[in-house]
Amino acid sequence: MKYAVVIPARYKSSRFPGKPLAKILGKPMIQRVWEQCCKAVDSEKVYVATDSHEISRVVKEFGGQVVMTSSDCLTGTDRLAEANKTLDCDFLVNVQGDEPVIDPKNIDTVISLYQETGNITNAYCEITSEDEFRSFTVPKVVVSELGKLLYMSRSPIPLSKNDEFIKSYKQVCVYAFGRSDLEFFSSIKRKTPLETIEDIEILRFLESGYEVSMIEVPSGSLAVDIPEDVHKVEEYIKS
């Protein structure tokens, strides 16, 4: 099957405008994400999907490929769907543009599972601290014994009746979507109810009756959500 790894990137972030171009130890964040993707697959298969001419210019300067998309995309997955009208792939792998230290092995793992099942695929890993479990910036996942997504929430789930953190898992932001999955997703010109409440786009598929295959990976990544997160990532890279 023909596929590509696509990094959706927008300039107008409400909490961190220009985030993809934020410098991390001298390199734009989008370049660091691109480099990690290129460790997983050939660089010819890696694209940045954006509506920003400034992001496009920077990506081309460091040797990356760009697919221009409109500013009307509601989510990164909508941006992938639009990008695939140009790329015309059987499936796309979405790697978030704010994951500068994403493990290339996690990308390979998601690609392999999609090629086996043909199902929408998302990675996840175990949460190791209660602070992370209680954080509303971390999407928690509940997975069936058959490896299918049951629900995803920013709330601390599953939670004991005594309000105890016992064991939980979080989403790792690497996904694989087939051509028809993306076409369906973008055909809904609004966010679905749970997607709107949780601000988690994969819930649009779950609410629409789609099966989402989950694959556990050893560890997650460090996302850059706000400017203060840049320092944390720089310290991680140095160490």
Q: Residue 235: in which H helix or E strand, if any?
A: helix 229-238
Can you name the residues that pair with 153 across neighbouring β-strands? 140
Give the model's pLDDT for residue 221.
Answer: 80
Prediction pTM value: 0.93
Give the model's pLDDT for residue 226.
Answer: 80
Q: At what angle do helices 53-61 and 29-40 cross, to 10 degrees?
A: 50
Contact 158, 171 (CB under 8 A): no
Domain that holds residue 94: 3-238
Give the model's pLDDT for residue 52.
Answer: 94
Spatial distance between the Cα atoms of 21 and 58, rounded to a whole number of angstroms: 8
Give the model's pLDDT for residue 12.
Answer: 80
- Ranges under pLDDT 70 in the chain: 14
* Residue where the block lists tokens 């840049």: 230
Q: What is the CATH number of the domain that holds 221?
A: 3.90.550.10
Tokens of 138: 């971390």
Give the model's pLDDT for residue 37.
Answer: 97
Contacts of 2 (CB under 8 A, 6+ apart): 88, 89, 90
The 3-class SS string of 97-153 reads: CCCCCCCHHHHHHHHHHHHHHCCEEEEEEECCCHHHHHCCCCCEEEECCCCEEEEEE
Contact 47, 6 (CB under 8 A): yes
Give the model's pLDDT for residue 14.
Answer: 66
Give the model's pLDDT for residue 95.
Answer: 96
Model confidence pLDDT, tens digit, residues 49-61: 999 999 999 999 9
Q: At what angle do helices 179-187 and 76-87 cross, to 10 degrees?
A: 130
Contact 169, 219 (CB under 8 A): no
- For the chain, what percentages of helix, strand and coil (3-state, to nearest 5) are there? 35, 25, 40
* Number of domains comprising the chain: 1
**What distance lies between CA 4 and its chain's CA centroid?**
14
Can you name the residues that pair with 152 across neighbouring β-strands? 141
Beta strand 212-216 pairing with 120-126? parallel
Model confidence pLDDT, tens digit, residues 142-177: 999 999 999 999 999 999 999 999 999 999 999 999
